[in-house]
């Protein structure tokens, strides 16, 4: 076991880390969460800030009472904090709050000012569905190839930009893969997009909690035109996301959703829309969620994103080195501990000869370890990583459409948060060792409709832990 535990200076900053969960053998064990790429636990400062704010919570904008004015002040301050976190200039950028990054990207897809001469969106084969499917509905979408190891094919990016040239309206790319942890050279991609007159939107939902972001000034050829992030991946699970981007885009055009808060003047014959960001924040906003995000960002700034990145790189290097001890475990993407600082702490693995569904069930039920398994909302990318040919994929799709997901391709994904430790990795390695040896106690059955495995004769009593 490692003697160095880099999480100790951070672990007291989180809610619920000491919570124990029930195991199949009747014992309880402190939960180990390696599913941070999906959602992160809450900072205590977020919980405390929200509890303090709820004493004053009220409607925002145009209210004359003290609580309403204070709530408006808090909401707008959260917007300022969010913009400052990514280096956005309030004179040239705006920050539109919504539910999450997925909603933000859908909004941009509906609001982006396409023109007849620019009718192509250049995306990639490594995107989360949320930065792919909205664009398919908006315009002709062309995907940049992925190399066999999972990296973005930069030569193909250049080739497609050259092929389509001034027909490219927008480049939509992720800052990093939520599956493999590969980081893309987003500012270089932006410069090349701008050279052909296109804008670029970057999905930073996975990147923002782990690395320093800089959207850069609009006169910088490497600037990012739009970015989308989610608070639930940034230790603020209160249902907020943000679309941050060019103010001039949102100063024009009709909002994609209309109603209260989006207008200046309405008559029975006409409407005058508000300016950004109000034009695109229909109805009463999630003020509490914005306050939570602001509090989380303040704490991340206090820790320092360089320290966050260093901590994660240490954990990633340690896990990759320990995984080399287990011959039946295959790491997808970059498995070199020496390059851990060049990628995010998102590690996809496969246990040879064992369903990812079953492996995840054993880790949860017998060790109290939470991981993610499956395709991680990036189906085309997983098929590429797993080298599944189209005829094989077609057979799987056919079975899934018949309601049988038992053979759905997928991997196990281990992803780190600021609070994770070397000791937790040691526990995971011990569990994986036992699983590869066939040493697990449960007698599991598979639900074909979901693909998931469940142990016979045991089920957690959730009502003992929480119910309404």
Domain boundary among 279, 301, 323: 301
Rounded to whole angstroms, how far apart are CA atoms 344 and 131?
A: 19
Say yes or no: 180 and 222 in one domain.
yes
**Do the domain assignments include residue 214?**
yes
Say if residues 426 and 321 touch (Cβ distance below 8 Å). Answer: no
Say yes or no: 297 and 316 in one domain.
no
CATH number, domain of 183, equals 3.40.640.10
Q: What pLDDT is stored for residue 8 in this prediction?
A: 66
Distance of CA 1 to the CA centre of its chain: 31
Over residues 415-438, the mean pLDDT reads 97
> Does 81 score more than 60 pLDDT?
yes
> Does 154 score more than 80 pLDDT?
yes
Say yes or no: 375 and 325 in one domain.
yes
Say yes or no: 96 and 239 in one domain.
yes
**Do the domain assignments include residue 85?**
yes
Domain boundary among 254, 277, 301: 301
CB contact set of 39 (below 8 Å; sequence gap of 6+): 232, 233, 237
Angle at 174 between CA 372 and CA 81, to 5 degrees: 95
Say yes or no: 53 and 157 in one domain.
yes
Q: What pLDDT is stored for residue 10 in this prediction?
A: 81
Say yes or no: 173 and 192 in one domain.
yes
Q: What is the pTM of this model?
A: 0.96
Say yes or no: 25 and 106 in one domain.
no
Q: What residue numbers bound the domain in which 410 lies?
A: 8-30+304-464
- Residue-wise pLDDT tens digits, 320-362: 999 999 999 999 999 999 999 999 999 999 999 999 999 999 9
Structural domains of the chain, count:
2
Indicate which residues carry an active-site annotation.
Answer: 377
Select from 186, 198, 178, 204 the least CA-distant residue to 105.
204
**Do the domain assignments include residue 37?**
no
Over residues 275-298, the mean pLDDT reads 97
Select from 252, 228, 230 the least CA-distant residue to 240.
230
Say if residues 431 and 386 touch (Cβ distance below 8 Å). Answer: no
- Residue-wise pLDDT tens digits, 49-68: 999 999 999 999 988 999 99
Q: Is 201 helix (H, G, I), strand (E, B) or coil?
A: strand
CATH number, domain of 456, equals 3.90.1150.10
Say yes or no: 94 and 128 in one domain.
yes
**Do the domain assignments include residue 245?**
yes
């Amino acid at each position: 076991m490692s003697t160095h535990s880099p999480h100790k200076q951070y672990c007291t900053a989180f809610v619920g880390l000491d919570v124990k969960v029930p195991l199949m053998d009747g014992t309880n064990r402190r939960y180990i969460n390696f599913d941070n790429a999906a959602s992160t636990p809450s900072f205590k400062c977020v919980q405390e800030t929200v509890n303090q704010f709820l004493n004053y919570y009220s409607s925002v904008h145009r209210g004359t009472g003290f609580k309403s004015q204070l709530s408006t002040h808090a909401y707008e301050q959260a917007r300022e904090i969010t913009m400052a976190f990514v280096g956005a200039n309030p004179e040239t950028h705006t920050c539109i709050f919504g539910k999450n990054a997925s909603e933000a990207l859908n909004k941009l897809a509906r609001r982006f000012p396409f023109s007849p001469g620019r009718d192509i969106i250049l995306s990639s084969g490594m995107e989360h569905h949320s930065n792919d499917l909205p664009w398919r509905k908006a315009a002709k979408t062309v995907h940049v190839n992925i190399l066999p190891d999972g990296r973005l094919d930069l030569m193909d990016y250049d080739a497609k930009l050259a092929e389509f040239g001034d027909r490219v309206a927008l480049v939509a790319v992720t800052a990093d893969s939520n599956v493999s942890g590969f980081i893309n050279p987003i500012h270089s991609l932006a410069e090349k997009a701008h050279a052909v007159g296109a804008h670029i939107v970057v999905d930073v939902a996975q990147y923002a909690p782990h690395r320093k972001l800089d959207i850069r000034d609009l006169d910088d050829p490497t600037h990012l035109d739009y970015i989308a992030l989610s608070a639930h991946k940034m230790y603020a699970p209160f249902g907020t996301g943000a679309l941050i981007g060019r103010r001039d885009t949102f100063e024009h055009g009709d909002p994609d959703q209309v109603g209260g808060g989006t207008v200046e003047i309405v008559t029975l014959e006409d409407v005058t829309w508000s300016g950004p960001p109000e034009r695109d924040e229909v109805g009463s906003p999630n003020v509490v969620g914005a306050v939570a995000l602001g509090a989380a960002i303040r704490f991340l700034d206090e820790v320092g994103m360089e320290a966050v990145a260093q901590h994660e790189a240490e954990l990633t290097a340690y896990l990759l080195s320990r995984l080399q001890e287990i011959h039946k475990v295959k790491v997808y993407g970059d498995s070199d501990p020496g390059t851990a600082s060049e990628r995010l702490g998102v590690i996809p693995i496969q246990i040879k000869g064992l369903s990812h569904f079953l492996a995840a069930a054993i880790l949860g039920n017998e060790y109290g370890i939470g991981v993610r398994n499956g395709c991680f909302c990036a189906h085309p990318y997983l098929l590429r990583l797993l080298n599944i040919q189209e005829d094989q994929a077609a057979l799987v799709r056919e079975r899934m459409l018949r309601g049988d997901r038992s053979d759905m391709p997928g991997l196990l994904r281990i992803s780190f948060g600021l609070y994770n430790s070397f000791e937790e990795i040691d526990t995971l390695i011990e569990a994986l060792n036992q699983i590869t040896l066939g040493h697990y106690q449960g007698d599991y059955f598979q639900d074909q409709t979901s693909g998931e495995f469940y142990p016979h004769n045991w089920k957690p009593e959730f009502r003992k832990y929480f119910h309404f």
